[in-house]
């Protein structure tokens, strides 16, 4: 599944380039919010440079609630970024799937106030078509002429990630050629701020708003409200290739699982999240040690961070470097998973992990290698983005690099000296049956990622070292493993038994002759 | 022509994408092919830009009548 376009409307800026620059600097965007003045929590991460009448025209801006305004702007960006022209596409093959959680709190606040003041005659006739959550997708479809399935996912703070997963399946099933997938939300209202504060979920760091969102820090005290939208153009690989599009990355797999533990608190050991991650890895055909980076949910609440860390530690044993984007832009709710997946795509493209802001005193119980203070080079072209939501709903997606330069590997596999491993070859044409999850009767599909990430460089490794059992892909034994097209060699399948393995994150790469330093890119 | 009519005219041309030549005082809203929801949107614009509530915009009204109604309401509010 190719990711061919990104659209971002965030407190860190609009558009992929601006957002990426801000994330590399790790400057938090939280600041006092006039709309929240007088409340216990009077700050948020809000959009700059977002003027709906200018961006959308007065009529459309007036008709849409803020969450739909942001979605339409982000979708337009994503389509342009993908080099698509809606005038040229077959709209019946284009889907829209957006995650929405907080929904239309802006409109509800205004209209309920009118009714409460005795002005029923002033309640807008547009209230319902403006506020129902599906309108984020509906308005994007209308704006761009996307006439395939239009859907909204709602798994609370995992909604954006869930949307990517559903979009992926719409393409895998043959329903769509491409899907505009992402999330949007603007929970930044006095009621939402008050309600989350009453739950004890928000940071009350009023004396230092910029330092309030501090995931994995010992002094964290809750999350910061944000707002934004993120849209990714997901596209069948052969469709993208046929029109000459250059993917930014690939969506290689996804997984979801529910805690069934508590209505708001995560499972203390991260049970559901761990299962979601394992399912995503299995879907991608990758083992835990083949993942080079994790974009964490990282809300900065006292409960989330240790539960998330526990989930990652149980899957990865020694998890790869982690970052938490909410330290910069706060919690964008239904948009969070999509924005974070987009940032993960940019991480894979630029081979840099953006730092987590405000991590001054890491919580010693977390046990994760969290990137902070400065960007860190990414040396493995695979990443995971995870999300968790109220209701115990967890989702994860695996993303892999598209840059062929990232796939410098040659014959790391036993028995194939001198040959080019399958993982380095170009994307393959569609062969074989469709994936079993789609029912097995659909048209042939190309391998999910077009090319699988490589684990090793051609450099002979100076010494032997093989990870011990906890880092082996044992979880795969109980997970669904999707069938692959003939010839589409799986790196994880290849690494079973005596195959080479990556050391759990320590900057080395292991081949059949041992492990050594150096980049596997 | 009153400033109210000009405000309505500008709005119809700029935001509702009505051809400028169609926007005359004698044109009915029906002739502009604005559906019922578009009329609701137009009433909101009038309220926002001119400051009067015109809840009874119907397709058979002309733009001139709409502007006159808004002006009359404005005047009445100023007197009262």
Residues facing A372 on adjacent strands? A356
Say whether A207 is catalytic.
no
Total structural domains within chain B: 1
Cβ contact, residue pair B40, A59, below 8 Å: no
Cβ contact, residue pair A121, B55, below 8 Å: yes
Q: In chain A, what percentage of residues exceed pLDDT 90? A: 69
* Alpha carbons A445 and A434: distance in angstroms, whole number: 6
For residue A284, give the 3-state DSSP assignment: helix
Identify the DSSP state of B74. Answer: H
Considering only CB atoms, A63 lies closest to which of B11, B41, B48, namely B41
Mutate which: B15, B18, B47, B54, vs A, most A CBs within 10 A: B15
* Alpha carbons A149 and A171: distance in angstroms, whole number: 11
Cβ contact, residue pair B41, A121, below 8 Å: no
Average pLDDT per block of 10 residues along chain A, 521 residues long: 97 96 92 96 95 90 93 98 97 98 86 90 86 95 98 97 98 98 96 95 97 98 98 97 96 97 92 98 97 97 96 94 98 98 97 96 96 94 96 97 56 30 31 34 34 34 30 33 34 35 35 35 39
pLDDT in tens, A300-334: 999 999 999 999 999 998 899 999 999 999 999 99
Q: Which residue has 């041992």 as its token pair?
A: A514
Say whether A331 is catalytic.
yes
Helix axes B3-14, B36-50, angle to 10 degrees: 130
Q: Which two tokens stand for residue A194?
A: 């008050």
Instruction: Please pick, among A157, A168, A423, A424, the residue that the annotation labels catalytic.
Output: A157
- What CATH number did the domain enclosing B27 receive? 1.10.1200.10
* Alpha carbons A229 and A186: distance in angstroms, whole number: 9
Contact status of B13 with chain A (Cβ, < 8 Å): no
Cβ contact, residue pair B41, A122, below 8 Å: no
pLDDT in tens, A389-406: 999 999 999 999 997 454
- Polymer length of chain B: 80
Tell me the pTM.
Answer: 0.79
The domain in which residue B17 lies consists of 3-79
* Alpha carbons B62 and B39: distance in angstroms, whole number: 12
CB A103 within 8 A of CB A133: yes
For residue A454, give the 3-state DSSP assignment: coil
Considering only CB atoms, B44 lies closest to which of A57, A62, A121, namely A62
Residue whose C-alpha is closest to residue A16's, from A371, A378, A341, A398: A341
Provide the greatest CA pair distance for chain B: 38
Average pLDDT of chain A is 81
Cβ contact, residue pair A59, B53, below 8 Å: no
Long-range CB contact pairs, A33-38, < 8 A, 24+: A33/A188, A35/A188, A35/A189, A35/A190, A36/A188, A36/A190, A36/A193
Asked if pLDDT for residue B70 goes beyond 80, the answer is: yes
On the 0-12 / 13-18 / 19+ scale of CB atoms within 10 A, B48 is: exposed
Query: What is the CATH number assigned to the segment(s) A2-401?
Result: 3.40.47.10
Say whether A157 is catalytic.
yes
* Alpha carbons A322 and B32: distance in angstroms, whole number: 57
Q: Which two tokens stand for residue A393?
A: 């709903």
* Alpha carbons A168 and A171: distance in angstroms, whole number: 5
């Amino acid at each position: 599944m190719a990711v061919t376009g990104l659209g971002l409307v965030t407190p860190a800026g609009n558009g992929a380039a601006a957002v990426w620059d801000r994330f590399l600097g790790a400057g938090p965007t939280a600041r006092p919010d006039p709309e929240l003045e007088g409340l216990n929590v009077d700050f948020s991460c809000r959009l700059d440079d977002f003027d709906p009448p200018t961006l959308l025209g007065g009529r459309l801006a007036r008709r849409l609630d803020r969450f739909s305004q942001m979605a339409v702007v982000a979708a337009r960006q994503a389509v342009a970024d993908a080099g698509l022209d809606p005038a040229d596409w077959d709209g019946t093959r284009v889907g829209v799937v957006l995650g929405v959680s907080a929904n239309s709190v802006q409109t509800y606040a205004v209209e309920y106030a009118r009714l409460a003041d005795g002005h029923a005659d002033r309640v807008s006739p547009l209230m319902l078509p403006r506020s129902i959550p599906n309108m984020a997708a509906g308005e994007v479809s209308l704006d761009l002429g996307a006439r395939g399935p239009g859907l909204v996912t709602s798994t609370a703070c995992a909604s954006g990630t869930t949307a990517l997963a559903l979009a992926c399946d719409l393409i895998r099933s043959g329903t769509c050629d491409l899907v505009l997938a992402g999330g949007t939300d603007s929970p930044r209202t006095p009621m939402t701020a008050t309600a989350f504060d009453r739950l004890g979920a928000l940071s009350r760091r009023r004396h230092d708003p910029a330092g309030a969102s501090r995931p994995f820090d010992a002094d964290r005290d809750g999350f910061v409200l944000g707002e934004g939208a993120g849209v990714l153009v997901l596209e069948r690989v052969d469709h993208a290739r046929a029109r000459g599009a250059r993917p930014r990355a690939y969506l290689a797999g996804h997984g979801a699982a529910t805690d069934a533990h508590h209505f708001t608190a995560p499972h203390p050991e991260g049970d559901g999240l761990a299962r979601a991650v394992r399912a995503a890895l299995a879907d991608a055909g990758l083992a835990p040690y083949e993942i080079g980076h994790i974009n964490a949910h990282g809300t900065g609440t006292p409960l989330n961070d240790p539960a998330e860390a526990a989930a990652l530690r149980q899957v990865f044993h020694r998890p790869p470097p982690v970052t938490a984007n909410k330290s910069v832009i706060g919690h964008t709710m239904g948009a969070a998973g999509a924005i974070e997946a987009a940032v993960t795509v940019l991480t894979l493209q630029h081979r840099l992990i953006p730092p987590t802001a405000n991590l001054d005193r890491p919580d010693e119980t977390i046990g994760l290698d969290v990137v902070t203070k400065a960007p860190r080079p990414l040396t493995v072209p695979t990443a995971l983005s995870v999300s968790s939501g109220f209701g115990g709903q967890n989702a994860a997606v695996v993303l892999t690099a598209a840059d062929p330069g990232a796939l410098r590997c040659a014959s790391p596999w036993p028995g194939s000296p001198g040959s080019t491993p399958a993982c380095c070859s170009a994307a393959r044409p569609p062969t074989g049956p469709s994936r079993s999850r789609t029912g097995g009767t659909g048209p042939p599909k190309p391998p999910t990622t077009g090319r699988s990430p490589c684990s090793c460089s051609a450099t002979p490794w100076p010494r032997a070292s093989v990870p011990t059992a906890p880092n082996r892909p044992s979880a795969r034994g109980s997970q669904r493993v999707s069938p692959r097209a003939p010839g589409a060699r799986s790196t994880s399948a290849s690494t079973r038994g005596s195959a080479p393995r990556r050391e759990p994150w320590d900057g080395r790469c292991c081949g059949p002759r041992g492990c050594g330093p150096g980049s596997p890119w | 022509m009153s400033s109210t009519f000009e405000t309505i005219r500008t709005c119809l041309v700029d935001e509702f994408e009505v051809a400028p030549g169609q926007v005359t005082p004698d044109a009915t809203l029906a002739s502009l092919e604005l559906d019922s929801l578009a009329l609701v949107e137009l009433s909101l614009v009038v309220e926002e830009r001119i400051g009067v509530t015109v809840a009874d915009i119907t397709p058979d009204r002309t733009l001139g009548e709409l502007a006159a109604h808004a002006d009359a309401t404005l005047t009445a509010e100023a007197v009262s």
